[in-house]
Amino acid sequence: MNLSQAILEALESLSSNKMRSGLTVLGIVIGVAAVIAMLAVGTGAQDSITGSISGIGTNLLFVFRGGGRMGGGTEVRNPKPLTLQDAAAIADPFAAPSVELVAPVLQDSLIVSAAGQTTTTNVSGVTPDYFPLRNYTLTEGDVITEEHLLGRASVAVIGPETADTLFGRRDGLIGEQITIEGQPFRIIGVLTAKGGGMFGSEDNQVLIPYSTAQTRLIQRRTRDQVDMLLVQVVDSESVPSAVEEVSAILRTRHRTEIGADDFTVFSQQDFLSTAATITSVLTIFLGGIAAISLLVGGIGIMNIMLVSVTERTKEIGLRKALGARKRDILTQFLTESSLLSLFGGIIGIAFGWLIAFIVEKVAIASGTPFYPRIGLDAILLATIFSAAVGLFFGIYPANRAANLEPVEALRYE
Amino acid sequence: MNQDWVVVADDLVKTYKMGEVEVNALQGASVKIARGEVVSIMGPSGSGKSTMMNILGCLDRPTSGEYMLDGEVVANMTDDQLASVRNRKVGFVFQSFNLLSRQTALFNVELPLRYAGQVENRRQRAADALKAVGLEDRMTHRPTELSGGQQQRVAIARAIVNEPAIIMADEPTGNLDSKVGKEIMQLLLNLNKERGATLIIVTHDPVIAAQTQRIIKLRDGMVEDENMQNGGVQ
Ligand SMILES: Nc1ncnc2c1ncn2[C@@H]1O[C@H](COP(=O)(O)OP(=O)(O)OP(=O)(O)O)[C@@H](O)[C@H]1O
Ligand SMILES: [Mg+2]
């Protein structure tokens, strides 16, 4: 018998017990839909995390005090703090040609109040370069300038969420007064909302001139100490050389031993690849759990096929009496089980797509834009996997059928 | 006399092991059946009639003994080779019809042709076989829509569609009333006359046996008596 005949016969046989076939297919549908939806959600999560890391800025380096903080190196005793002089050295275009901008940051969690409202939020002392470096734009007002730095001005740029908390609105705030740790500041700008970032609330912060923070709000042990240096690299190809240049400068300035850096340079790519690792583990984990339900569906197929073989023992005996060879019977039952799982696979892909679609709508409705992505690879994987499940779990029952003794089978009632 | 034998079986033994107990269903039975002959096999229940039929029809292998069907020695054949021999040389008619209940009469009759790998004329040949048993107006009926006699006719059409050397019927009228049984018997005899098909019929009914050319009597797995009648050979 050829394949198209086998498929036709299998279809007839499956449709003669629609309820049973339907329920068996359902098991595969659930499995495949789960796999598709989970992979889609996982990939979507990956996209959105990658997106938000890129949103921090482009081609950034983060320089922290202390060795081995994220890179896995050894912890160094008595690390020297990063200073403004370090920042100036890195900004030198001759020593570090790959560096475009350097921004020192002082950061602390402080009490901010206005109009009777009080909140605790992140306050950062920054320089004018900080804004282009972080891709910050304003909905109204102006950024912090060199004049503000020189004058240690009591001015602040606030995030939209902070504005909501303190004033209940996001506009018309220029010139309004806020107090930080009891000291009065005048609002000169409001940041554009960035949305749900992965690194705390970028929308909930207050930016003030670096010099103001240094002298009046965020005192460190030495005057020139900074918490973090943000470095922008000229282009993405230069990131590795920029890391080297920055490290070389800091090693010389801090006189550290070789292999015992008392600082950490972390690039955005490092963040990205760390995040990618985490999210792909997440995706595999989700997909794996979903795959278990596909496995359960496969066992369902095996179960039904075994029942079907037993029920049709006499039919198998008859077919053998009429000249069916082992492989004819094998083909017959494998075709049935593969068709069951293939149908399940196709319907499951549609269902998985629907689930991903619903997740997207719910995510958008709840204000965190998130786009589950169904790749061709996921569809291919699900189709192949479900057909393989049908074949694999069909082999045992089909073999059992093919190896029945014709006489015994014919006698079966 | 140089005979054209379809069945040459010598000293067939079939032993079933059931744990410790051995059941000797056949113990040294020999038969020869000529082409075109009509033979009945009789004997008390448990005498080994069905066992012999299964071996002659290549559904089962003897424990020992020689068997040649239509010139082919089947002793050392694989399962698939046996399947092919059954397909080409044997047509089975069962007591309980054994039709695929979900399929039409036509499909049931086509089945041996499908397993023969026959694609051309399949429908036509199946239709011709159904016509030969007088069911040309019941081709698309399913077994549940046919009477017992009609179902057995479909089974006979299925048995002859591949033009086998031999038709084997194990109590073909056992599930039918005597009038319909007589019609079925007549149909088989006509097929023998018109097509020259060799016919082996297992039966308990002396009336049916009396219509055949030779009666092989089995007792305790051995051929007790071969009773020539109606101008049989030998
Ligand atoms: N699969 C088997 N396992 C064990 N013993 C068997 C098997 N098949 C048949 N026998 C035994 O072999 C003997 C012959 O059985 P067989 O079916 O050939 O009898 P029969 O002549 O066809 O009887 P009946 O007229 O009742 O159909 C019986 O004793 C039976 O119990
Ligand atoms: Mg019997």
What tens digit of pLDDT does each residue of B193-208 get?
A: 998 889 999 999 999 9
Residue spans of alpha helices (H) in B133-177: 148-160
For A168, the 3-state DSSP assignment is coil
Give the per-residue pLDDT at A69: 45
pLDDT value of residue B75: 83
CB–CB of A321 and B59 under 8 A? yes
* Alpha carbon nearest to ligand 1 atom 2, residue: B16
Residue B9 has pLDDT above 80, yes or no: yes
ipTM over 0.90: yes
Q: Pick the residue from chain A with its C-alpha nearest to B80.
A: A325
Decide: B41 and B216 in contact? Cβ < 8 Å.
yes
Strands A228-233 and A99-114: antiparallel
pLDDT tens by residue, chain A, 413 residues: 578 888 988 998 888 889 999 999 999 999 899 988 988 888 888 888 877 777 776 788 888 887 654 444 556 667 788 888 888 888 888 878 888 888 888 888 889 988 888 888 989 999 998 888 888 888 888 889 989 889 888 999 999 888 888 888 888 888 888 999 889 999 999 988 876 554 556 788 999 999 888 888 888 878 888 888 888 888 878 888 888 888 888 888 887 766 677 788 888 778 788 888 888 888 888 888 888 888 888 898 999 999 999 999 999 999 999 999 999 999 999 999 999 998 999 999 999 999 999 988 988 887 777 788 888 888 888 888 888 888 899 999 999 999 999 999 999 88
Residue nearest atom 5 of ligand 1, based on CA coordinates: B16
Cα A59 to chain centroid distance, Å, stands at 19
User: What is the average per-residue pLDDT within B33-54?
Assistant: 94
B46 lines ligand 1 (CB under 6 A): yes
Q: How far is the CA of B14 from the centre of ligand 2 (A)?
A: 14
CA distance A394 to A391: 5
Residues of B within an 8 Å Cβ radius of A: 54, 57, 59-60, 79-80, 83-84, 86-88, 92, 94, 98, 100, 102-103, 111-112, 114-117, 119, 158, 162
CA B13/CA B3 separation, integer angstroms = 25
Q: Where are the alpha helices (DSSP H) in B10-48?
A: none
Which residue lies with its CA nearest to atom 10 of ligand 1?
B25
Compute CA A248 distance to the chain's CA centroid, rounded to the nearest angstrom: 33
Q: Is the confidence at residue B219, as pLDDT, over 80? A: yes
pLDDT of the residue at A326: 95
pTM of the model: 0.75
- Mean pLDDT for B46-67 is 94
Measure Cα distances from A62 to A69, A108, A244 in Å: 12, 17, 13
pLDDT value for B38: 95
Strand partners, B69: B7, B72
Give the Cα-Cα-Cα angle B129, B42, B172 (nearest 5 degrees): 25
- B148 has pLDDT over 50: yes
**Structure-token match 């705030």, residue found:** A173
- The predicted structure's pLDDT at residue A199: 54
Q: Largest Cα–Cα distance in chain A?
A: 104
| Residues B55, B57, B61: CA angle, nearest 5 degrees | 30
DSSP state of A272: H
